[in-house]
Amino acid sequence: MGAGMENLSYNVSEEIREQLQNIDLLRSRILTASIPPSLAQNLRYRALVNRIFYSYVLSNAVLGKSEVVRALNLLTPEVGRVKKESAEILAYKKALDFIAFEWTGSTKPITIKTILSLYRMFGQGRVRSHKASVFLKKFLQVMEKSSDHPIVKASLLYILIHKNKPFTSQNEQMAHLAFQLVLCKYGYDMKGLPVIQFEWKEDFNAYTFALTQTFERGNATIWIEFVAKTTLLACRKVLDELGQEVEEIGMIKGLTERQTAILEFSNRGGMVTNRKIQKLFKISQITASRDLSYLASRNLLLQKGKGRSVFYTKI
């Protein structure tokens, strides 16, 4: 899949790989964090409100966050002007709930029927053409067979729907749902807490630039880089909200998440070798050597031995 999809190519650069590794590390911390039930409920509700709100704002919808809150608190849609908006928000929430309940950690393949079912839950249009349906079906088949990272898969499905507009309306909202669908399937919704769309809106110029460049060049690398970067920011904010201060999660200023994880690994006892780090983090010998040498230069690890016998221990 790295070679491309139809007229859209991409490359998983070294920068993207490092960001994905850092996302994996923070994801592990979020999933293993002990969160009081009441706090978890409040955080999930707030994340839901923000996910709906920013998905619509990024789709150029005129919508206030208070309207989202009002709609979610309704048992039945209000009368008058707000009725249509509330009904649409509740339908979108229904689609998000379906994704969370039916697709989190699922082994089922995402097919064209899955996408069409999701669209029917909230969409008011139809498939634009048979050609559009076939194109989307073909991509989903390739995506399912791909070994790409879930963040890469989610990024590509988002851009595909956003760019090709397979439906007669609400393609942008559908792109956000499809993005969330892939994250949930592979366990990257992280308890439903990170709101990546907020980061997209916060850096809206970079968001529009990445989209525009992808459309103009037919290459999604810059878009994947943007999504990986903003996903990492969203994960860090979740950990901050959970009250896990920098010192508590063992992070030291100037270190990457992977370097921090290497220190945590060394704190469990025993010696740390280049080969162990390569295997643990799925990185090259050169990258492992660079991280270990840097930690030793910061006096965070103690280097012992020479040549091939070099190993590291905590100080």
Domain-by-domain residue ranges, the chain? 14-241, 257-314
Of 61-75, 219-233, 241-255, which has the strongest mean pLDDT?
A: 219-233
CA dihedral (91, 223, 240, 195) in degrees, to 10, reads 0
The two domains 14-241 and 257-314 share their CATH topology (first three levels equal)? no
Task: Return the number of other C-beta atoms located less than 10 Å from residue 193's C-beta.
Answer: 22
Could you tell me what percent of the chain has a pLDDT over 70?
Answer: 90
Mean pLDDT, all residues of the chain:
87
What local confidence, expressed as pLDDT, does residue 253 receive? 64
DSSP letter for each residue of 205-228: HHHHHHHHHHHHHSB-HHHHHHHH
Cβ atoms of 118 and 181 closer than 8 Å: yes
pTM of the predicted model as reported, rounded to 2 decimal places? 0.76
- Angle (CA) 253-29-38 rounded to 5° is 115
Q: What is the CATH number of domain 257-314?
A: 1.10.10.10
Q: Among 93, 100, 102, 99, which Cα is nearest to 122's?
A: 93
- Asked if pLDDT for residue 77 goes beyond 70, the answer is no
250/239 Cα distance (integer angstroms): 12
- Asked if pLDDT for residue 2 goes beyond 70, the answer is no
Q: What is the CATH number of domain 14-241?
A: 1.10.3290.10
180/168 Cα distance (integer angstroms): 21
- Asked if pLDDT for residue 112 goes beyond 80, the answer is yes
94/284 Cα distance (integer angstroms): 44
- Asked if pLDDT for residue 96 goes beyond 60, the answer is yes
DSSP letter for each residue of the chain: -TT-BTTBB----HHHHHHHHHHHHHHHHHHH----HHHHHHHHHHHHHHHHHHHHHTTT----HHHHHHHHT-SSPPSTHHHHHHHHHHHHHHHHHHHHHHHTT--SPP-HHHHHHHHHHH-SS-BS-HHHHHHHHHHHHHHHH----HHHHHHHHHHHHHHH--BSS-HHHHHHHHHHHHHHHTT-SGGG---HHHHHHHTHHHHHHHHHHHHHHSB-HHHHHHHHHHHHHHHHHHHHHTT--TTTTT--TT--HHHHHHHHHHHTSS-B-HHHHHHHHT--HHHHHHHHHHHHHTTSEEEES-GGG-EEEE-
- Asked if pLDDT for residue 187 goes beyond 50, the answer is yes
Phi, psi of 26 (to 5 degrees): -70, -35
Of 210-214, 291-295, 311-315, which has the strongest mean pLDDT?
A: 210-214
- Asked if pLDDT for residue 250 goes beyond 80, the answer is no
What local confidence, expressed as pLDDT, does residue 16 receive? 93
Q: Among 166, 188, 186, which Cα is nearest to 175's?
A: 166
125/132 Cα distance (integer angstroms): 14
What local confidence, expressed as pLDDT, does residue 3 receive? 44
Cβ atoms of 138 and 148 closer than 8 Å: no
- Asked if pLDDT for residue 88 goes beyond 80, the answer is yes
What local confidence, expressed as pLDDT, does residue 260 receive? 81
- Minimum mean pLDDT among 112-121, 179-188, 217-226, 297-306: which range? 297-306
- Minimum mean pLDDT among 44-58, 192-206, 271-285: which range? 271-285
